[in-house]
Amino acid sequence: MKEAADTAEFEAFAETHGSAVWEEALAPMREARGDPTWRPRSWMEGMGLQAEVSRTLRERFDARYG
């Protein structure tokens, strides 16, 4: 029961903060390429950034609620 509540709490946190974390993850790539609208162009790039975003969200969630 607690695990389901924790999962729901994390999902709500990720929904609220996900866009900002995505922008943070994209910022270094955009800056390096000089393209403020750069987005992942391959499946591998997208998966790598998704993993980074997920890890960051989990770390921030755990720091706040853990």
User: How confident is the model at residue 5, as a pLDDT?
Assistant: 64
Q: What is the pLDDT of residues 6-53, one digit of tens each?
A: 889 999 999 999 999 999 999 999 999 999 999 999 999 999 999 999
As for how many domains the chain has, the answer is 1
User: How confident is the model at residue 1, as a pLDDT?
Assistant: 62
User: How confident is the model at residue 6, as a pLDDT?
Assistant: 83
> Residue 57's domain spans which residues?
2-65
User: How confident is the model at residue 65, as a pLDDT?
Assistant: 87
CA distances from 12 to 18, 39, 50 (A): 10, 25, 17
How far is the C-alpha of 10 from the C-alpha of 61, rounded, in Å?
A: 7
How far is the C-alpha of 8 from the C-alpha of 2, rounded, in Å?
A: 10
Does residue 2 surpass a pLDDT of 90? Answer: no
